[in-house]
Amino acid sequence: MHERPRVPRPLAHSALIALCLCTQACAQSTPAQAVADGRSPLPYVADGPPIPPLPALRDALAAIEQGREPPAPLPLGQPLSGWFEFAALRRDLEALSSEQGQAFLDRYRDQVVAQTFREAWLGVLAKREDWPSFRAAWSPAIKSTALRCAELNARQALGETDARWVSDAQAIWRGAGKALPSDCDAPMAVLAAEGGLQPALRWERIEKAAAEWQPAVMRAAARGLPADDFALANDYAAFFESPHDRALNWPRTPRSRLIASHALARLAKSQPLSAETVMPKFAQALGMNDEERGRALYQAALWTVASYEPESARRLNAVPDVAYDERLHEWRAREAMARSDWSAALAAIRKMGPTQRADSRWRYFEGRLLEMAGQRDAAAALFREAAKKPEFHGFLAADRIGAPYALCPIEPKPDYAAKTDIARDPAMVRAMLLYKMGREGWAVREWDEALSRFDATRRRLAVEVAQDNGWFDRGVFGLVNVGGQRYPDESRLYTLRFPLHHDGTIRREASKHNIDPSWVAAEIRAESVFNPNARSHADARGLMQVLPSTGAGLARRLGLPWNGGGDLYDPDLNIALGTAYLREMEDKYGQTYIAIAAYNAGPAPVARWRSQRPDMPADFWIETISYKETRDYVARILAFSVIYDWRLNRSAMPVTERLAGRIVDTRKPFVCPAPDPKAEPASDSAPD
């Protein structure tokens, strides 16, 4: 098969701002002309030196990391000077003098690269026990527990073991139920010697370790307790490793009950029958209440129902109401669905809390179950509520009542001048350059620093700049949930959150294999967010996350050139292979939703799920997939397909037709507000 022609995409205008050399061609456009042309003006970086071309930057960085001189000298003060110097220094940090390290920190004190260097440099200084230099290089922004303990060592060595030192050391002791790094051994020993680890603090850590199922940490924390307490704490830890009848004579205290209940919960996760057998005698002897008994019963039920084992219903019913959380409520409903016990499934949904029950997923399934029971009016009312949400189950609900799909997009008015300011922000310039050079980890650090200074409007513009530069996943990681804050209105920025790229290739390959192009785009959005260099821990690569072994077989069957797994980073080839694989899955399984599940989980689990529930309706089959990742993945792909259909065509093929793998001419319109004229506007939450 002949090689496909490559058509280069033009650089977006904010990409030019970040990346363009100060060449004659760039200099021909003035700011006023650029704004008049609808572009971001000034393809320069502030007033600094010209930026070398990307190939020159890549070659220079590669040379530096290999200990060679760059092929060509780089301008002094170019935006990535700090990162290039960092790359040179980290080759042999051990040989760096304290003065050289501090000079680097001083030189780049206002840049992210200084903090990146600092984290590595402090480790070197701690190893040297150069405590004055360590203190000079220290930053309170450091989060590493190991380095925080090293900082305690530094203060102690410098004679600063004061009340604040004790308080800081106690905070680290209290902060975790898992083992502390070895760097913390010395300061914790000093803290103990200074009388800062009173029995109450030791018991506090023992209880936290019990909640984390960490018997070794319990034993370590017990050292220093009075003899009787030490013996009891060690007996508590031994119970985690193997429940013993000595526990029947433990003190009937909240602590004993907490320890025993967590230990039995740990046992129940792997050996539910053993936990069920021994728990009654310990519960009676220690006087456990429902919440304490429920810890073990919860684990026994959860890890049984996750595989739909025969004991699932009995174990779910044994869990006290007080021990139920949203996760177990969902599993109780799914377990009943998996047995086609529709009345039990309806009862399970109605036992959920009001917030959980109001979610579009459970509104929809409550409606489906009522519909199956002949209560069509009640079902329709629930479908109308669910259909307000631009999510998979909202779209399904709209199809049940013949309503349009709800979608309320926000399309902000372009602001080229403001966007230009964002593109010229020094951290943004560095982030875009680093991303283009394939240094995404460093780029993300620069990006995060920039976003920490931006308000919501500037953050949105930063996402636009990033996507102009081909960094499409910033539409996911730069909006809605950012820095521990939630901005629900941003879920309606669909154009940014659902980018389109390589659409010509997507349409061509989809047409070739008789697949809806919206499905292909949805797969790319879910798998890589249009990052052609994405690579998973399982070695899936490229836009559609194709495994090299799968890619080799597909290329052979399609007659496409194949030179190894590296070819999967070519967007055109990756889309060609990924789309062909979707076609193969569709042909093999007959229904799109099963093909999507197989694309995510592989053939073996799908074969098992089909054999367990061969005749189950599609919506219930998806909901009863036992793997959370795959269950959510199928729903997400189908919802994303609707969104991308809207992006491509401003209407959508019904999701119920997608479930069956049919490509039909029937189109669904989108409306805002939601279909019900009495309803609220469409939900701000969008599929992700």
The residues carrying an active-site annotation are 527
Helix (H), strand (E) counts: the chain: 39, 4
678: which DSSP letter?
A: T
- HEC secondary structure over 517-559: HHHHHHHHHHHCCCCCCCECCCCCECCCCECHHHHHHHHHHHC
The torsion of the CA quartet 547, 550, 553, 554, rounded to 10 degrees, works out to -90
Residue corresponding to tokens 């072994």? 549
Selection from 563, 560, 559, 530 nearest residue 545 by Cα: 530
Selection from 407, 389, 400 nearest residue 649 by Cα: 407
DSSP bridge partners of 671: 406
Selection from 334, 442, 488 nearest residue 79 by Cα: 442
CA distance 589 to 206: 52
Give pairs for 322-330: CB < 8 Å, separation 24+.
322/290, 322/291, 322/294, 323/290, 323/291, 323/293, 323/294, 323/295, 323/297, 323/298, 324/298, 324/351, 326/352, 326/353, 326/356, 327/302, 328/298, 328/301, 328/302, 329/353, 329/356, 330/356
CA distance 272 to 299: 8
CA distance 393 to 367: 11
DSSP bridge partners of 668: 652
CA distance 565 to 544: 13
User: Which amino acid belongs to residue 543?
Assistant: L
For residue 23, what are its two tokens?
A: 């060449």
Give pairs for 610-618: CB < 8 Å, separation 24+.
612/308, 612/338, 613/338, 616/340, 618/591, 618/593, 618/659, 618/660
Sign of the C-alpha dihedral, residues 9, 14, 15, 16? positive
Please, which residues have CB within 8 angstroms of residue 219's CB and are 6 or more apart in sequence? 233, 234, 237
Please, which residues have CB within 8 angstroms of residue 621's CB and are 6 or more apart in sequence? 593, 594, 609, 613
Find the angle CA(538)-CA(540)-CA(544) to the nearest 5 degrees.
Answer: 145
Selection from 531, 542, 525 nearest residue 576 by Cα: 542
How many CB atoms within 10 Å of residue 327?
A: 11
For residue 386, what are its two tokens?
A: 């669910």
In this structure, are residues 256 and 221 in contact, taking their beta carbons and an 8 Å threshold? Answer: no
Selection from 209, 175, 168, 207 nearest residue 190 by Cα: 168
The torsion of the CA quartet 521, 526, 527, 528, rounded to 10 degrees, works out to 80
- Three-class DSSP category at 625: coil
87: which DSSP letter?
A: H
Selection from 372, 336, 371, 373 nearest residue 351 by Cα: 336
Per-residue DSSP letters for 385-429? HHTTSSSHHHHHHHHHHTPPEE-----PPP-HHHHHHHHTSHHHH
